[in-house]
Structure 1
Amino acid sequence: MATKAITNPIMFVTQVPTPGGDRFATRLSAFANHLPGMGAAPRGGDLMIRYPDGTLRNLTREAGFGGTGFQGANSIAVREPTVHWSGTRAIFSMLVGSPVGRYDAVTSKWQLYEVTGLGQGQTATITKVPHQPTAYNNVSPLYTSDDLVLFTSDSPRRGEAHLYPNLDEYESNPTITGIFRLDPASGDLTILNHAPSGAYTPTIDSYGRVIFTRWDHLQRDQQQDAAISQGANYNPFNYASEAANAASVGLVHDTFPESRAQNGSNYTTSPTYGRIWGYTSNLFTPWEMNQDGTAELTLNHIGRQELTFDYIPASFVDDPSLRGVSNQSLFANRKYIRMDAGIMHIRESRTQPGTYFGVYAREFLQGSANELVKFNGAPNLNAEQMVVSDAAASGSGRYRTPLPLTSGDLVASHTSLGVDAFNSAAQPELRLKRLDTNATGLYVPGSNLTPGISTNVSWWGATGMVEYSGALWELDPVEVVSRTRPPVTGAPAVEAPEQAILDAEGVSATALRNWLRQNDLALIVTRNQTSRDRNDKQQPFNLRVPGGVSKTGDGGRVYDIAHYQIVQGNLVRAYQSFNRGRRIVAQPMTVPANANPSNPAGPAGSVKIAADGSTAAFVPANRALSWQTVDPDGEPIVRERVWVTMQPGEIRTCAGCHGENAVNQAGQSSPANQPQALRDLIRHWKQTSGGNSVRRNGSAPLQPAG
């Protein structure tokens, strides 16, 4: 069945193919795709626009950037344009400059630019976006609903040059730090989510949510553990802190999460709970957050149990009630998303709000191009109702960066070459194609959008002069058309049970938020740590607070939980073999002295679990956090499996530990109790200098710890 004609201009970029395809850390890679080196992002591509009559314009050349032949000081590479809501301008990322001599270093960085003059007969003008971090790589830009700019960057969280580059949790390779928000007029810049292994290709959907792919890789350092046992010693060591003058303290082994499987064994042993299975994680997961960075979570709270089905083994090997296999009768999805892969390049349908297209691809060697998929994900949809399904016919080739059009049709980059194409000397052809549908309604490649764009370029590479003559890749299509601005999304109101406590204690939520902002803190509340989603039984789910509430499911051992320990991602791991960059290590959180009630019986960075199962804590903002519940002796029981970032002033409530999608392990709905731990925390806060000052003056910062 033929598609309708494309009636709006399509903006896209061309890219000189990377030598050898996508072996590792190149422009098309699933991760570490932001690097500016000549092997990662050869210069010679451009920003292009195609009009409905088939006419092509080279916008960058028209504005005085780029060229063919030798790629020197004026050379460029271009990526990821996003069109403004008005349809009259676009923001994109561009590299300018490359080595002019054989041994010259690459000094240019991906930076944000804006282009105007997009109509036929107009003149293209390109200007650099002001106030962006100029020393770092800034990619994947987009406009917010109120005309600020979101983008991903490898800038350190607070711009600390001595921590650069941040290294991912897998290969300790340079990574994107997270999604940043910039006001180009004032220069106000903040990190919205601190993603230790990277966040990719954000977009804003029709509901105002920022939707993005995040690499969830929270695990211990394999360069510390398994790599050493396999004879690859990277000489890891820790710094005492993130401070510029911090001293080396030698190797301090990670303590969170569980140990990795290593030395030929799949588990470690606890004297209390027996064998503990080695834990690794590697999934590219759909995430969402508000446009101010609040309420960050996996899209509609979808979890591994609804996506990967059977990857993570039971944490305590000797507890037969635990299982690493999902009960598939409890959720609708049947598309298995394997670990070491995930859903990338997510974009919402223009004609069916809440339906999203993406690419299901592996982490290596596929150029993040593979199966075209679609899934439902409207904000009112329960994760158990979400379904990922094939969108393209089997054997129809491999797809990248799908673009849903206002007509309801689809455009994508496509190659007919097989799975090994990006791991060979052959260069896969990536052409923009309008997709058709077959008799069963699945997409198949249709006609090319261009007659093919070729170039002849040369540049200085690591081993000498490199030449390329041939077709360019056609990537990152966007439709040039005006769109309705989505609503501006921000911090939600305090939920009713928590608001009732604030009211009873005479505390204004506004004053509390202001105090949190002044102290760079957020407040997290869990109503009942013993309540868990019915299908998340990889970790203990028969839980009891000594002397308090309990929740049990299918029988088996009952575990006592007494403390809630919060860990933060500190950039303190380095490697003598690398001599650059820092990797995240999970360490007990640090907050100003006396911010939280003292908990001498618990481990560092912990608060007590109240008798009703609730917890409440002031936590660091704008930094990756995770947590675990521990028994009365401090031994971990249930661990969080991802990093989450809170914004300054954010008040965040979770009903249970891994909150219930439908019901908990006891068949009950989400807890709605007024959490006693929050009441205790607010009373403590009112008695401290911070709380007293708020009542007197409206806000006051705490003194730092130590």
Structure 2
Amino acid sequence: MAIVPIRIALLALLVAVAGCDKDSHGAASARAPLAHVAAAPVATVNGDRAPASYPILFVTQAPVATDDAARLSVFANHLPALDAAPRGGDLMLRYPDGSLRNLTQEAGFGTDGAQGANAIAVREPSVDWDGKRALFSMVAGDGHAFWQLYEVTGLAKGERAHIARLPGQPANANNVSPLYATDGRVLFTSDRPRAGLAHLYPQLDEYEATPTTTGIWSLDRASGVLRILNHAPSGAFSPIVDSYGRVVFTRWDHLQQDQLAQRDRDAAKNGVALPFRSFNYAGEAAGAIPLPARTEVFPESRSGSEGKYGWVNAFTNNFFTVWQMNEDGSGEETLNHVGQHELAFGYLTPSFRDDPALSNRTVDTLHANRTSIRREGGLLQLREDPRHPGAYFAVAARDRGTFGTGQLVRLGADPGLNGEQMQVDPVTPGDPGDALPGGRFRNPLPLSDGSLVASHTGDERLAAGAPGLSGLRLVWLEPGATGLYRAGRPLTAGIRKTLRWTSAAGPRSWSGELWELEAVEVRPRPRPMRAQAGLEAPERAVLAEQHVSEEALRSWLVRHDLALIVTRDQTSRDRADLQQPFNLRVPGGVRTLSNSAPGGRVYDIAHFQLFEGEQLRAYPGRPGRRVIAQPMHTGRLPANPGGPDGSVQIAPDGSTAAFVPARRALSWQTTDPSGEPVVRERNWITFQAGEMRVCASCHGVNVRDQAGRPPPVTKPEALRRLLSWWKQQSQ
């Protein structure tokens, strides 16, 4: 299926750039400066540099001593404990003349000195379309508390700040990264369980079973309706609504078997105590019984295995990828459907060791980007350039030990570009060893006058387990001698506090400059048009021939909390994806063979097996559960005799169609007639109730498939069969 490419979208890992010289570790080195990035404005106020013409809203943060599941961590940064999110910061507003307002203090929140009941930490402000109010997240008090969403008004000079908590949000969950949708709703990320089941709290990520956010949520302020838009088993981060109406965000793509359970299996084989004692529950219900097993059926093993087609290579997955979806949660896919072999080219492990046609190298002529990128990191904290729609500034950072800091890069992702065409430009210097000349950055903010602001630390290298940063200050960026940008003059004279608090580790104190983070420009912006999804001509024709109304079918899907997914040809795959089988045929039906790698093994594919993410994996003494893949059982599928659990038959024309559950992470694979996996999806995807998603090919064709053909436009026979079955069931 090609709703998102099986090519493992790695946009989130970019630390390098097309048009850059390539080094062995994938750090970005520039040949030319970015012409469109202006230096800070040069007008003067009282002999000093003047900022942009609009105010800048930002937060201060008491320094954090750890990068382990804490406020500035790349993942698990939503936890509210005092050591993870020290209290004492505020919501600040800087005017063009350089004057500052402490908005939380004006509204009666926060305190200096001893951090007690009125203590706060704040994060991630986001300005409304009219530029007159803003959302942010705040945790209040020194005891057990949650990050909650607040709105501030009174931003103009001469007004007084008023701050109110948003009603209707989950009260017993951490709600962060808020933003205004174009229709009055509020979008945010939360660690509320996907279906609100308290016994599943918290959801544990797919890495080391650390608490994570569950995805992006929407709150309708008028009706109070709360809904999850995408179910992210390892978390979603820092969403924005761009000028095209897309919700663009970073997602941690970590779909792999549980490494803690793997250690337990290894321990059991060696006859020693299981270190994590992992086990599965029989279901997600509160009364589900624990099972004496830690079985996993998808994806393939972390250590490799023997199969029908020889040795199956070990598979792991760890990417902070840039994704997009519509504001209602439909249309979720990697940004512009980009895949790993377009932007993270180089060595990639093929799925079957014993198939010589599969490659461990990508095809360099089939991607615009000229520099390979490092893995186990990603693109973080994206902000769209207001002067260049479709261009995004981001931080390219390692996933641990960096406090979310790294090199600034610029990603070109206009909706008209496909994955082969997308590129990244460096903005600040990179380094293959991650010792960044001139220091490290986070939270880039391109301004409407063309200048660029970011948080900066002078620390060039951060060793694993480092005790912290020397500081983080908002600075203007200015061109350096190399043509790349460097930290310039700070925006403030420094904001100081003296703080005392008691954490779980005992008494703490700190005195000095607060960190300055997450700046946003307070200005009016046009509301983009919301994307309108609709079926394409081949599928509309099938519905018409089957006398099925699209509106009636959508209504039925909504009532039953289902989505329809269709692929026109599972044998057709993007020409550049050579890591999984690409010579495919349906027994008695269509086949597609590569014209660039003739003579390779041909695989029969007969079934399309779907998996749903369920919180079944648990560990004694650790609250919450991890998501693992289970054969889909909550959708509506016609019988498929001889097929694996949760599967539909692949039609002779290569097409598939299925009714799948909404608002739950799904993945899939094609199998041969005996149920042996052939080609696997590498990501989780979420669909919305009533959504009808169609992809022409398996794994997303950018220009041509492996046989040199454009994406298929045939009417999918599998959809015709599914609709015929559906009409019989609905009568």
TM-score range, shorter chain: over 0.9
Counterpart CA distance in 1 for 2:610 and 2:495 is: 53
Work out whether residues 228 and 234 of structure 1, in 8 Å CA contact, stay in contact via their aligned partners in 2.
Answer: no
1:565 to 590, 598, 609: 609
- Normalising by structure 2, report the TM-score: 0.90
Counterpart CA distance in 2 for 1:673 and 1:421 is: 54
Aligned counterparts, 1:460-609, within 5 A: 460-490=502-532, 492-553=533-594, 554-555=597-598, 556-578=600-622, 580-591=623-634, 595-609=636-650
Counterpart CA distance in 1 for 2:639 and 2:208 is: 38
Matched, 1:442 2:478: no
Counterpart CA distance in 1 for 2:342 and 2:230 is: 24
Counterpart residue number, 1:214: 251
Counterpart residue number, 2:46: none
1:414 to 438, 456, 473: 456
Counterpart CA distance in 2 for 1:424 and 1:224 is: 29
**Secondary structure at the residue paired with 1:677?**
helix
**Secondary structure at the residue paired with 1:423?**
coil
**Secondary structure at the residue paired with 2:725?**
helix
**Secondary structure at the residue paired with 1:52?**
coil
Letter in 1 for 2:63: P
Work out whether residues 64 and 468 of structure 2, in 8 Å CA contact, stay in contact via their aligned partners in 1.
Answer: no
Counterpart CA distance in 2 for 1:311 and 1:642 is: 19
2:689 to 642, 648, 659: 648
Work out whether residues 335 and 389 of structure 1, in 8 Å CA contact, stay in contact via their aligned partners in 2.
Answer: no
Matched, 1:25 2:73: no
Matched, 1:70 2:114: yes
Work out whether residues 95 and 109 of structure 1, in 8 Å CA contact, stay in contact via their aligned partners in 2.
Answer: yes
Counterpart CA distance in 1 for 2:655 and 2:382 is: 36
Counterpart residue number, 1:698: none
Cα displacement (A) at 1:338: 2.0
| CA 1:447–1:590: 2 relative to 1, 3 Å | same
Counterpart CA distance in 1 for 2:382 and 2:505 is: 37
Aligned counterparts, 1:185-334, within 5 A: 185-226=222-263, 229=266, 233-261=275-303, 267-270=304-307, 272-334=308-370
Work out whether residues 49 and 57 of structure 1, in 8 Å CA contact, stay in contact via their aligned partners in 2.
Answer: yes
Matched, 1:180 2:217: yes
Matched, 1:675 2:716: yes
* Superimposed CA distance per residue, residues 194-240 of structure 1 (whole angstroms, 9 cap, x where no aligned partner): 00000100001100000000000000000111465377620011111
Letter in 1 for 2:604: D
Counterpart residue number, 1:15: 61
**Secondary structure at the residue paired with 2:261?**
coil
* Superimposed CA distance per residue, residues 53-91 of structure 1 (whole angstroms, 9 cap, x where no aligned partner): 110100000000001111111100000000001000000
Counterpart residue number, 1:622: 663
Work out whether residues 9 and 49 of structure 1, in 8 Å CA contact, stay in contact via their aligned partners in 2.
Answer: yes
Work out whether residues 403 and 412 of structure 1, in 8 Å CA contact, stay in contact via their aligned partners in 2.
Answer: yes
Counterpart residue number, 1:355: 391
Cα displacement (A) at 1:458: 1.1
Higher RCO (C-alpha under 8 Å, 6+ residues apart) = 2
What's the C-alpha RMSD, in Å, of the aligned pairs? 1.3
Letter in 2 for 1:385: Q
Work out whether residues 412 and 435 of structure 1, in 8 Å CA contact, stay in contact via their aligned partners in 2.
Answer: yes
1:141 to 178, 203, 208: 178
**Secondary structure at the residue paired with 1:497?**
helix
Counterpart residue number, 2:426: 390
* Superimposed CA distance per residue, residues 594-640 of structure 1 (whole angstroms, 9 cap, x where no aligned partner): x3221011000000000000000000100000000000000000000
Counterpart residue number, 2:79: 35
Counterpart CA distance in 2 for 1:486 and 1:423 is: 43
Counterpart CA distance in 1 for 2:372 and 2:493 is: 37
1:365 to 376, 386, 401: 401
2:195 to 150, 158, 182: 158
Identity level (%): 55
Matched, 1:125 2:175: no
**Secondary structure at the residue paired with 1:17?**
coil
Work out whether residues 281 and 339 of structure 1, in 8 Å CA contact, stay in contact via their aligned partners in 2.
Answer: no
Counterpart CA distance in 2 for 1:412 and 1:163 is: 38
Letter in 1 for 2:130: S
Work out whether residues 149 and 176 of structure 2, in 8 Å CA contact, stay in contact via their aligned partners in 1.
Answer: yes
1:6 to 38, 52, 61: 52
Work out whether residues 234 and 577 of structure 1, in 8 Å CA contact, stay in contact via their aligned partners in 2.
Answer: no
Cα displacement (A) at 1:252: 3.5
Counterpart CA distance in 1 for 2:356 and 2:326 is: 40
Letter in 1 for 2:148: Q
Counterpart CA distance in 2 for 1:437 and 1:497 is: 52
Counterpart residue number, 2:100: 56
Counterpart residue number, 1:701: none
2:208 to 167, 171, 186: 171
2:497 to 447, 455, 476: 455
Counterpart CA distance in 1 for 2:616 and 2:332 is: 25
Letter in 1 for 2:286: A
Counterpart CA distance in 1 for 2:509 and 2:290 is: 44
**Secondary structure at the residue paired with 1:445?**
strand
Work out whether residues 347 and 362 of structure 2, in 8 Å CA contact, stay in contact via their aligned partners in 1.
Answer: no
Segments of structure 2 that go 5 or more residues without pairing to the other structure are: 1-37, 42-50, 431-436
Counterpart CA distance in 2 for 1:427 and 1:382 is: 38
* Superimposed CA distance per residue, residues 483-516 of structure 1 (whole angstroms, 9 cap, x where no aligned partner): 11111234x1111100100011111111100100
Counterpart residue number, 1:636: 677
* Superimposed CA distance per residue, residues 403-455 of structure 1 (whole angstroms, 9 cap, x where no aligned partner): 11000111100111022167323532110011112355422111100001111
**Secondary structure at the residue paired with 2:706?**
coil
Work out whether residues 311 and 339 of structure 1, in 8 Å CA contact, stay in contact via their aligned partners in 2.
Answer: no
Work out whether residues 596 and 684 of structure 1, in 8 Å CA contact, stay in contact via their aligned partners in 2.
Answer: no
**Secondary structure at the residue paired with 1:225?**
helix
| CA 1:422–1:113: 2 relative to 1, 3 Å | farther
* Superimposed CA distance per residue, residues 570-609 of structure 1 (whole angstroms, 9 cap, x where no aligned partner): 111101142x1010010011136xx322101100000000
| CA 1:472–1:294: 2 relative to 1, 3 Å | same
Counterpart CA distance in 1 for 2:480 and 2:469 is: 28
Counterpart CA distance in 1 for 2:129 and 2:725 is: 47
Letter in 2 for 1:15: Q
Cα displacement (A) at 1:250: 2.0
Work out whether residues 235 and 577 of structure 1, in 8 Å CA contact, stay in contact via their aligned partners in 2.
Answer: no
Counterpart residue number, 1:702: none
* Superimposed CA distance per residue, residues 380-408 of structure 1 (whole angstroms, 9 cap, x where no aligned partner): 11110000121113413211010110001
Work out whether residues 263 and 275 of structure 2, in 8 Å CA contact, stay in contact via their aligned partners in 1.
Answer: no
Counterpart residue number, 1:427: 469
- Figure out how many residues of one structure are paired with residues of the other and give that number: 671
| CA 1:468–1:333: 2 relative to 1, 3 Å | same
Letter in 2 for 1:591: T
Counterpart CA distance in 1 for 2:192 and 2:467 is: 33
Counterpart CA distance in 1 for 2:154 and 2:347 is: 50
**Secondary structure at the residue paired with 1:383?**
coil
Counterpart CA distance in 1 for 2:348 and 2:469 is: 36
Cα displacement (A) at 1:93: 0.2
Counterpart CA distance in 1 for 2:78 and 2:454 is: 21
Cα displacement (A) at 1:110: 0.3
Cα displacement (A) at 1:304: 1.1
Segments of structure 1 that go 5 or more residues without pairing to the other structure are: 100-106, 262-266, 693-706
* Superimposed CA distance per residue, residues 142-176 of structure 1 (whole angstroms, 9 cap, x where no aligned partner): 00111210000000011110100000000100001
Aligned counterparts, 1:99-114, within 5 A: 99=143, 107-114=144-151
